[in-house]
Structure 1
């Protein structure tokens, strides 16, 4: 088996080999290469100790990423390559990092500490090392722990969610013993930082196999997203099925969480960024509102949500409500026509602004906003043409009426 390795990575491997050390590409880059995917990064494991790695690459720029755990980042022609000494991990008292590591010169001992068999492969020009059946599991699309699953998950509880994520993203199934251990140890997720859970969950729900994984392992997801407990299996299944039509994380979150209150608090607890929280909240608040396919209604929706959010809302509703699909398609076409022909639907697109009203003699204050919104309403309803002179004449008329009332 031959794996095409980038020149920069070959340079790093050759540099170590030329100085008498073993070196292999390891982990996800081997897995992805075997599966015909392009790796996002390349990691190397070596018999060289950290100080020997630094010595070997003394003519390259290096970053002492984690010398305590044997990791040095080497930059070869702008590519960052993590190089880590073969090691044996000690106890994981914090359920994330080993309390101490012992460096070794045996690749076999290093591969034993890996999380899953598909990530325990090593490769260099001499061939592939597969001690735990990783090639078999890739071929048969199986996520399986290296060694005893309980041990692997107790070392780092996040591996529970990583197993689900790999099964979703790679479209794999989970080995029975590994699955049993996932259920048995799900409480370990309570000790994992929310930020780490957030990253894995996002990848999971964007994976091609998310539907099966979230259905079959909903009890695991409920550990950090207890709100979905209120959904029946049928309700959850329908939401997950509908999410297939959406290729955006924000839209999938909105569809999954709609009707669960307060949505913003749920997302804030899961450490989502402010933009995602605000957008999902806005979408979930409007999912069950009707959108009628006529220009006036669509302009009012555009004024309320803006183009991007209304387009997103229509996508979600089309995914959820088959009976509304035709009307939503018409609404979408009307919206695009409004944008394409530069029709007015918001204060930003109105032909007059606050300064124009001040110039027209309307005193500064709340009345400025009230008049602008009244004028906008008339334009949206088609009662006024969105031309500055027309709108100013209308405003002058309003002002005269107010002045008479004041008299």
Structure 2
């Protein structure tokens, strides 16, 4: 992936070019800024486009008529224009005062100088601007840092983090998602100022933490900046250096966890489950007479601990429940039979069972050469075959309905119980999922 791709004006989306051309034709400056420019320079297609201009926000509606303009952040001079169906965030160029509350600037004033605007930004790779008339404006060497794959703070790193402690996690999130390193002074200040995260709202921390964990370089970043990870999730501290004393594990719990995270693939649910799957091992550990380590009940206990962590961090309820379920079941020994897989499909559904098996597969590969690294893969293949065949494993797919049973004389709770019995038979033998066969079974049970 190139990190020095030139900006091709004609390749920019039409709405972006329309807005920039119109504002420039009226005598205003307007620039592409932030993450969209970073992505363009890396040869990627941005998901969103952010613009910065010298237009006072109260004049934007008239200038961009007939396109709708929505006031989305007037305190900072930000509006959103919807042009040809695309939402574009446009912010007035500004300079800022200090950050007494560790989040918001004490004052914000407009400026005509794009360099003053860029000087207030967090990292050099986000402190560049582009316009067709000015070309690339890069006063802090962001393009060079893109080439070097570096995250470097704009100006003095400690000051940047003091202004907004969330920038600590933002830096790690960029390193994780882009697979970049942190520049030495930025890295030092990031660890030194980690206590500032205590001043940041939990929802903001959680948003950045999720995106950090989703990054493919998350294991490396979490290992390199373990003190910051512990600042966010103190429960991780006990995992580092905790030896497992078993021939089935050659790594301590933290190193094993990082390898599971590295091998589990994409998806925030399964990646969070990988990070927390052994969170309760230290509290469940005991050694047998031969000195072999055991962790009886650690999966169930881990589900409970994970639930506490995610609730404290204010994760969404559904995400929290799905992650806890994966942690709770990650050590389950699922039999290598189609019937067993159909029962687990009935319990978890295809999406969640696939996550569980991917977690088990990564878990087994991160243990030792003595571990069976193939069992989860075989179960995954069984599941895919079952789904491809269309085997029935839910009441919804059953060939009879409650009304069919009512027509036979079943009533009340008897209907539900009978449907469940029929489903049990079909999960054992999918060939029985035929209306005539199931009605005959139900009729036999009613007579009995």
Q: Normalised by the size of structure 1, how large is the TM-score?
A: 0.88
C-alpha deviation, 1:388, in angstroms: 4.0
Matches within 5 A, 1:250-289: 250-259=269-278, 260-262=302-304, 263-289=306-332
- 2:123 alignment counterpart: 116
Instruction: Decide which of 325, 341, 346 is 1:298's aligned counterpart.
Output: 341
C-alpha deviation, 1:216, in angstroms: 1.1
Matches within 5 A, 1:170-319: 170-232=178-240, 234-243=252-261, 244-259=263-278, 260-262=302-304, 263-319=306-362
- The structure-2 alpha-carbon separation of the partners of 1:357 and 1:64, relative to structure 1 and needing over 3 Å to count, comes to closer
Secondary structure at the aligned position of 1:321 is classed as helix
Deviations 1:289-343 (A, max 9, x none): 1122112222222222222222222122112114444333332333333333343
Secondary structure at the aligned position of 1:25 is classed as strand
Is the CA contact 1:22–1:47 (under 8 Å) kept in the aligned structure 2?
A: yes
Bigger Rg, which one = 1
Secondary structure at the aligned position of 2:374 is classed as helix
Q: Which deviates more, 281-290 or 51-60?
A: 51-60
Unaligned runs of 5+ in 1: 402-407
Could you tell me how far apart the structure 2 residues matched to 1:220 and 1:199 are?
Answer: 15
- 2:424 alignment counterpart: 377
Is the CA contact 2:158–2:189 (under 8 Å) kept in the aligned structure 1?
A: yes
Q: Which deviates more, 135-144 or 255-264?
A: 255-264
Is the CA contact 1:29–1:39 (under 8 Å) kept in the aligned structure 2?
A: yes
- The structure-2 alpha-carbon separation of the partners of 1:379 and 1:141, relative to structure 1 and needing over 3 Å to count, comes to closer
Secondary structure at the aligned position of 1:39 is classed as coil
- The structure-2 alpha-carbon separation of the partners of 1:388 and 1:51, relative to structure 1 and needing over 3 Å to count, comes to closer
Matching of residue 364 in structure 1 with residue 412 in structure 2: yes
Is the CA contact 2:57–2:77 (under 8 Å) kept in the aligned structure 1?
A: yes
Could you tell me how far apart the structure 1 residues matched to 2:6 and 2:380 are?
Answer: 50
- The structure-2 alpha-carbon separation of the partners of 1:393 and 1:213, relative to structure 1 and needing over 3 Å to count, comes to same
Matches within 5 A, 1:380-391: 380-382=427-429, 385-391=432-438
Q: Normalised by the size of structure 2, how large is the TM-score?
A: 0.81
Instruction: Decide which of 140, 158, 163 is 2:166's aligned counterpart.
Output: 158
Q: Which deviates more, 327-336 or 184-193?
A: 327-336
- 2:248 alignment counterpart: none
- The structure-2 alpha-carbon separation of the partners of 1:123 and 1:247, relative to structure 1 and needing over 3 Å to count, comes to same
Matching of residue 329 in structure 1 with residue 377 in structure 2: yes
Matching of residue 4 in structure 1 with residue 4 in structure 2: no
Could you tell me how far apart the structure 2 residues matched to 1:384 and 1:52 are?
Answer: 70
Unaligned runs of 5+ in 2: 242-251, 279-301, 366-370
Q: How many residue pairs are counted as aligned between the two chains? A: 400
C-alpha deviation, 1:348, in angstroms: 3.3
Matching of residue 106 in structure 1 with residue 109 in structure 2: no
- 1:405 alignment counterpart: none
Deviations 1:118-165 (A, max 9, x none): 111122233222221212211111111111112211221111111001
Instruction: Decide which of 69, 73, 85 is 2:76's aligned counterpart.
Output: 69
Is the CA contact 1:186–1:220 (under 8 Å) kept in the aligned structure 2?
A: yes
Q: What do you get for the CA RMSD once the two structures are aligned?
A: 2.6
C-alpha deviation, 1:99, in angstroms: 2.8
- 2:91 alignment counterpart: 84
C-alpha deviation, 1:172, in angstroms: 0.9
Could you tell me how far apart the structure 2 residues matched to 1:111 and 1:342 are?
Answer: 56
- The structure-2 alpha-carbon separation of the partners of 1:355 and 1:110, relative to structure 1 and needing over 3 Å to count, comes to same
- 1:404 alignment counterpart: none
- The structure-2 alpha-carbon separation of the partners of 1:399 and 1:73, relative to structure 1 and needing over 3 Å to count, comes to closer
Matching of residue 341 in structure 1 with residue 360 in structure 2: no
- The structure-2 alpha-carbon separation of the partners of 1:394 and 1:208, relative to structure 1 and needing over 3 Å to count, comes to closer
- The structure-2 alpha-carbon separation of the partners of 1:306 and 1:81, relative to structure 1 and needing over 3 Å to count, comes to closer
